Amino acid sequence: MESLEKGSQKLLVDLDNGAAIKELLLEAQKGTRTIIKDQGYHHASAFLFPFPNRLANGRFNFKGQNYQFPINDIPHQHAIHGFLYQQKFVLTLKTPFSIHLYHSYKGNLPYYPFPFDIHLTYTLKHSALSIELSIHNTGNTEMPCALGWHPYFYLKEIDRVQLQLPHVMIEELNEQAIISGKISPFEAYAQARKIGRHHFDHCFYCRAESTKYHSLLSYENGEKLVIWQHTDMRWLQIFTPEDRRSIAIEPMTAPANAFNHRRGLKVLATKEIWALNFGLQLE
Protein backbone atom coordinates (compact mmCIF):
# COMPACT_ATOMS: atom_id res chain seq x y z
CA MET A 1 0.00 0.00 0.00
CA GLU A 2 1.05 3.58 -0.62
CA SER A 3 -0.66 6.57 0.95
CA LEU A 4 -0.72 10.31 0.35
CA GLU A 5 -2.12 12.75 2.89
CA LYS A 6 -2.72 16.47 2.56
CA GLY A 7 -4.37 17.99 5.63
CA SER A 8 -7.60 16.06 6.20
CA GLN A 9 -7.44 14.56 2.72
CA LYS A 10 -6.15 11.04 2.14
CA LEU A 11 -5.42 8.74 -0.79
CA LEU A 12 -4.61 5.05 -0.24
CA VAL A 13 -3.45 2.97 -3.22
CA ASP A 14 -2.91 -0.81 -3.49
CA LEU A 15 0.33 -1.24 -5.45
CA ASP A 16 -0.01 -5.03 -5.54
CA ASN A 17 -3.39 -4.95 -7.26
CA GLY A 18 -3.20 -2.63 -10.23
CA ALA A 19 -2.67 0.58 -8.22
CA ALA A 20 -6.38 0.63 -7.40
CA ILE A 21 -7.62 3.22 -4.91
CA LYS A 22 -8.62 1.67 -1.59
CA GLU A 23 -9.62 4.91 0.12
CA LEU A 24 -10.09 8.52 -0.92
CA LEU A 25 -11.07 11.32 1.45
CA LEU A 26 -11.56 14.84 0.09
CA GLU A 27 -12.06 18.09 1.94
CA ALA A 28 -15.74 19.05 1.83
CA GLN A 29 -17.76 22.11 2.81
CA LYS A 30 -18.24 20.72 6.30
CA GLY A 31 -15.36 18.47 7.23
CA THR A 32 -14.18 15.59 5.08
CA ARG A 33 -16.19 13.38 2.73
CA THR A 34 -15.39 9.73 1.98
CA ILE A 35 -15.40 9.51 -1.82
CA ILE A 36 -14.04 5.99 -2.28
CA LYS A 37 -14.04 3.25 0.34
CA ASP A 38 -13.00 -0.39 -0.02
CA GLN A 39 -16.20 -2.44 0.18
CA GLY A 40 -14.98 -5.63 -1.45
CA TYR A 41 -16.42 -5.09 -4.93
CA HIS A 42 -14.73 -6.80 -7.87
CA HIS A 43 -12.36 -4.53 -9.84
CA ALA A 44 -13.17 -1.62 -7.51
CA SER A 45 -11.36 1.56 -8.58
CA ALA A 46 -9.04 -0.49 -10.80
CA PHE A 47 -7.70 0.42 -14.21
CA LEU A 48 -9.18 -1.79 -16.90
CA PHE A 49 -6.59 -2.58 -19.55
CA PRO A 50 -5.95 -3.64 -22.29
CA PHE A 51 -9.73 -3.41 -22.54
CA PRO A 52 -12.62 -2.31 -20.29
CA ASN A 53 -15.88 -4.17 -19.92
CA ARG A 54 -16.52 -7.37 -21.87
CA LEU A 55 -14.73 -9.03 -24.75
CA ALA A 56 -17.21 -11.36 -26.48
CA ASN A 57 -16.27 -14.98 -25.78
CA GLY A 58 -12.79 -13.70 -24.89
CA ARG A 59 -11.77 -13.78 -28.56
CA PHE A 60 -10.40 -11.25 -31.05
CA ASN A 61 -8.41 -11.14 -34.25
CA PHE A 62 -5.64 -8.64 -34.89
CA LYS A 63 -3.51 -8.50 -38.05
CA GLY A 64 -4.74 -11.96 -39.07
CA GLN A 65 -3.87 -13.61 -35.75
CA ASN A 66 -6.51 -15.04 -33.40
CA TYR A 67 -6.25 -14.56 -29.64
CA GLN A 68 -8.21 -16.12 -26.77
CA PHE A 69 -8.42 -14.43 -23.38
CA PRO A 70 -9.42 -16.52 -20.33
CA ILE A 71 -13.16 -16.49 -19.62
CA ASN A 72 -13.69 -14.67 -16.31
CA ASP A 73 -17.23 -13.36 -16.81
CA ILE A 74 -18.77 -16.75 -16.14
CA PRO A 75 -22.50 -15.85 -16.43
CA HIS A 76 -22.03 -14.52 -19.99
CA GLN A 77 -18.97 -16.60 -20.97
CA HIS A 78 -16.89 -13.53 -21.87
CA ALA A 79 -13.57 -12.09 -20.78
CA ILE A 80 -13.94 -8.93 -18.73
CA HIS A 81 -11.73 -5.94 -17.81
CA GLY A 82 -8.37 -7.17 -19.16
CA PHE A 83 -5.62 -8.03 -16.67
CA LEU A 84 -3.90 -4.84 -15.44
CA TYR A 85 -6.00 -4.86 -12.25
CA GLN A 86 -4.01 -7.91 -11.09
CA GLN A 87 -0.55 -6.47 -11.75
CA LYS A 88 1.98 -4.87 -9.42
CA PHE A 89 3.05 -1.24 -9.68
CA VAL A 90 6.18 0.28 -8.16
CA LEU A 91 6.60 3.73 -6.66
CA THR A 92 9.00 5.89 -8.67
CA LEU A 93 8.50 9.29 -7.02
CA LYS A 94 6.53 10.79 -4.16
CA THR A 95 5.97 14.50 -3.52
CA PRO A 96 3.78 16.25 -0.92
CA PHE A 97 0.99 16.35 -3.50
CA SER A 98 1.47 13.34 -5.79
CA ILE A 99 2.61 9.77 -6.18
CA HIS A 100 4.17 8.49 -9.39
CA LEU A 101 3.83 4.79 -10.18
CA TYR A 102 5.12 2.44 -12.88
CA HIS A 103 4.32 -0.95 -14.35
CA SER A 104 6.15 -2.78 -17.13
CA TYR A 105 4.55 -5.68 -19.00
CA LYS A 106 6.83 -7.83 -21.13
CA GLY A 107 4.19 -9.35 -23.42
CA ASN A 108 4.47 -12.77 -21.81
CA LEU A 109 0.77 -13.73 -21.98
CA PRO A 110 -0.05 -15.61 -25.19
CA TYR A 111 -3.46 -13.96 -25.47
CA TYR A 112 -1.89 -10.47 -25.36
CA PRO A 113 1.72 -10.60 -26.58
CA PHE A 114 2.08 -6.82 -26.81
CA PRO A 115 4.60 -5.35 -24.33
CA PHE A 116 3.94 -1.96 -22.77
CA ASP A 117 4.97 0.36 -19.96
CA ILE A 118 2.49 2.38 -17.92
CA HIS A 119 3.30 5.53 -15.98
CA LEU A 120 0.59 6.62 -13.54
CA THR A 121 0.37 9.78 -11.44
CA TYR A 122 -2.17 10.53 -8.74
CA THR A 123 -2.23 14.19 -7.70
CA LEU A 124 -4.18 15.23 -4.61
CA LYS A 125 -5.37 18.83 -4.86
CA HIS A 126 -7.80 20.88 -2.77
CA SER A 127 -11.06 18.86 -2.86
CA ALA A 128 -9.87 17.12 -6.00
CA LEU A 129 -7.98 14.16 -7.44
CA SER A 130 -6.28 14.24 -10.83
CA ILE A 131 -5.13 11.08 -12.61
CA GLU A 132 -2.56 11.13 -15.40
CA LEU A 133 -1.78 7.89 -17.16
CA SER A 134 0.45 7.18 -20.14
CA ILE A 135 0.77 3.92 -22.05
CA HIS A 136 3.94 3.28 -24.03
CA ASN A 137 3.99 0.57 -26.69
CA THR A 138 7.45 -0.90 -26.12
CA GLY A 139 7.05 -3.66 -28.68
CA ASN A 140 8.01 -3.96 -32.33
CA THR A 141 4.45 -4.26 -33.65
CA GLU A 142 1.27 -2.24 -33.45
CA MET A 143 -0.73 -2.75 -30.25
CA PRO A 144 -4.54 -2.69 -29.92
CA CYS A 145 -5.87 -1.36 -26.62
CA ALA A 146 -8.55 0.53 -24.74
CA LEU A 147 -8.72 1.69 -21.14
CA GLY A 148 -11.29 2.27 -18.44
CA TRP A 149 -11.31 3.32 -14.79
CA HIS A 150 -13.74 1.57 -12.43
CA PRO A 151 -14.32 3.76 -9.35
CA TYR A 152 -17.15 2.94 -6.94
CA PHE A 153 -18.28 6.12 -5.20
CA TYR A 154 -19.35 5.55 -1.62
CA LEU A 155 -22.91 6.56 -0.80
CA LYS A 156 -24.69 6.01 2.49
CA GLU A 157 -28.14 6.26 0.88
CA ILE A 158 -27.94 6.00 -2.88
CA ASP A 159 -31.70 6.51 -3.33
CA ARG A 160 -31.46 10.13 -2.15
CA VAL A 161 -28.42 11.12 -4.19
CA GLN A 162 -28.94 12.93 -7.49
CA LEU A 163 -27.20 12.00 -10.74
CA GLN A 164 -26.71 14.16 -13.81
CA LEU A 165 -25.59 12.87 -17.22
CA PRO A 166 -25.77 15.70 -19.73
CA HIS A 167 -25.25 15.08 -23.46
CA VAL A 168 -25.16 11.28 -23.51
CA MET A 169 -26.55 8.56 -25.73
CA ILE A 170 -27.24 5.06 -24.46
CA GLU A 171 -25.68 2.00 -26.06
CA GLU A 172 -28.12 -0.85 -26.63
CA LEU A 173 -27.01 -4.21 -25.19
CA ASN A 174 -27.90 -7.62 -26.57
CA GLU A 175 -28.80 -10.65 -24.45
CA GLN A 176 -25.10 -11.44 -23.96
CA ALA A 177 -24.44 -7.96 -22.45
CA ILE A 178 -22.50 -6.87 -25.54
CA ILE A 179 -23.35 -3.60 -27.30
CA SER A 180 -25.41 -4.11 -30.44
CA GLY A 181 -24.16 -1.02 -32.29
CA LYS A 182 -27.44 0.82 -31.88
CA ILE A 183 -27.37 4.03 -29.82
CA SER A 184 -30.23 6.36 -28.94
CA PRO A 185 -30.69 9.64 -27.04
CA PHE A 186 -30.89 9.40 -23.25
CA GLU A 187 -32.48 12.39 -21.56
CA ALA A 188 -33.70 10.87 -18.28
CA TYR A 189 -30.76 12.34 -16.35
CA ALA A 190 -29.97 15.34 -18.54
CA GLN A 191 -30.85 17.39 -15.47
CA ALA A 192 -29.97 16.32 -11.93
CA ARG A 193 -32.52 13.91 -10.48
CA LYS A 194 -32.61 11.39 -7.65
CA ILE A 195 -31.40 7.92 -8.46
CA GLY A 196 -34.21 6.47 -6.35
CA ARG A 197 -34.61 2.74 -6.97
CA HIS A 198 -33.20 2.96 -10.48
CA HIS A 199 -30.75 0.17 -11.32
CA PHE A 200 -27.89 0.94 -13.70
CA ASP A 201 -25.74 -1.44 -15.71
CA HIS A 202 -25.53 0.67 -18.85
CA CYS A 203 -23.01 2.09 -21.27
CA PHE A 204 -23.26 5.67 -22.52
CA TYR A 205 -21.59 7.58 -25.33
CA CYS A 206 -20.64 11.14 -24.34
CA ARG A 207 -21.53 13.78 -26.93
CA ALA A 208 -19.90 16.79 -25.27
CA GLU A 209 -17.92 18.79 -27.82
CA SER A 210 -15.67 20.64 -25.37
CA THR A 211 -12.32 19.21 -24.27
CA LYS A 212 -13.89 17.60 -21.20
CA TYR A 213 -17.02 15.66 -20.33
CA HIS A 214 -18.57 16.02 -16.86
CA SER A 215 -20.98 13.76 -14.99
CA LEU A 216 -22.18 14.76 -11.52
CA LEU A 217 -23.35 13.31 -8.24
CA SER A 218 -25.23 15.71 -5.95
CA TYR A 219 -25.40 14.89 -2.24
CA GLU A 220 -28.23 15.83 0.11
CA ASN A 221 -26.24 18.65 1.71
CA GLY A 222 -25.73 20.34 -1.67
CA GLU A 223 -22.17 19.19 -2.33
CA LYS A 224 -21.42 17.91 -5.81
CA LEU A 225 -18.88 15.40 -7.03
CA VAL A 226 -17.82 16.12 -10.60
CA ILE A 227 -16.36 13.16 -12.51
CA TRP A 228 -14.47 14.55 -15.49
CA GLN A 229 -12.75 12.96 -18.44
CA HIS A 230 -11.06 14.37 -21.51
CA THR A 231 -12.72 13.59 -24.81
CA ASP A 232 -10.22 10.82 -25.56
CA MET A 233 -12.53 8.97 -23.16
CA ARG A 234 -15.84 9.11 -25.02
CA TRP A 235 -17.72 6.42 -23.09
CA LEU A 236 -19.10 6.01 -19.60
CA GLN A 237 -20.28 2.85 -17.87
CA ILE A 238 -22.62 3.22 -14.89
CA PHE A 239 -23.40 0.38 -12.49
CA THR A 240 -25.28 0.13 -9.21
CA PRO A 241 -24.34 -2.91 -7.07
CA GLU A 242 -27.05 -4.90 -5.35
CA ASP A 243 -26.24 -3.56 -1.88
CA ARG A 244 -26.81 0.01 -3.18
CA ARG A 245 -24.08 1.46 -0.96
CA SER A 246 -22.27 2.98 -3.92
CA ILE A 247 -22.41 3.72 -7.63
CA ALA A 248 -19.75 2.97 -10.24
CA ILE A 249 -19.25 5.77 -12.78
CA GLU A 250 -16.54 4.56 -15.14
CA PRO A 251 -14.79 6.71 -17.77
CA MET A 252 -13.71 4.57 -20.74
CA THR A 253 -11.94 5.12 -24.05
CA ALA A 254 -14.10 2.46 -25.72
CA PRO A 255 -17.24 0.42 -24.98
CA ALA A 256 -17.51 -3.34 -24.52
CA ASN A 257 -16.03 -5.62 -27.19
CA ALA A 258 -13.92 -2.89 -28.79
CA PHE A 259 -11.30 -5.39 -29.96
CA ASN A 260 -13.91 -6.77 -32.34
CA HIS A 261 -16.09 -3.85 -33.49
CA ARG A 262 -13.17 -1.34 -33.29
CA ARG A 263 -15.23 1.62 -32.04
CA GLY A 264 -12.95 3.59 -29.77
CA LEU A 265 -10.14 1.08 -30.20
CA LYS A 266 -6.69 2.64 -30.00
CA VAL A 267 -3.96 1.06 -32.12
CA LEU A 268 -0.61 2.27 -30.87
CA ALA A 269 2.25 2.37 -33.33
CA THR A 270 5.60 0.93 -32.29
CA LYS A 271 7.08 3.11 -29.52
CA GLU A 272 4.01 5.40 -29.49
CA ILE A 273 2.88 6.89 -26.16
CA TRP A 274 -0.80 7.46 -25.36
CA ALA A 275 -1.53 9.97 -22.58
CA LEU A 276 -4.86 10.22 -20.74
CA ASN A 277 -6.12 12.53 -18.00
CA PHE A 278 -9.26 12.32 -15.85
CA GLY A 279 -10.33 12.86 -12.28
CA LEU A 280 -12.68 14.15 -9.60
CA GLN A 281 -13.64 17.52 -8.13
CA LEU A 282 -15.75 17.97 -5.00
CA GLU A 283 -17.66 21.26 -5.07
Is residue 249 a contact partner of residue 151, using CB atoms and an 8 Å limit? yes
What is the three-class DSSP state of 57?
Answer: helix
pLDDT tens profile 212-239: 999 999 999 999 999 999 989 999 999 9
Give the pLDDT of residue 94.
Answer: 97
CATH number of the structural domain spanning residue 115: 2.70.98.10
Number of domains in the chain: 1
Claim: this prediction has a pTM higher than 0.85: yes
- The one-letter amino acid code at 62 reads F
Is residue 89 a contact partner of residue 25, using CB atoms and an 8 Å limit? no
Give the pLDDT of residue 8.
Answer: 94
Give the pLDDT of residue 143.
Answer: 98
- The one-letter amino acid code at 191 reads Q
Q: Which domain holds residue 74?
A: 2-282
Helix (H) or strand (E) holding 48: strand 46-48
> How many CB atoms sit inside 10 A of residue 273's CB?
14
Q: What is the mean pLDDT of the chain?
A: 95
pLDDT tens profile 16-37: 999 999 999 999 988 899 999 9
Does position 209 have pLDDT exceeding 80, yes or no? Answer: no
pLDDT tens profile 73-124: 898 899 999 999 999 999 999 999 999 999 999 999 999 999 999 999 999 9
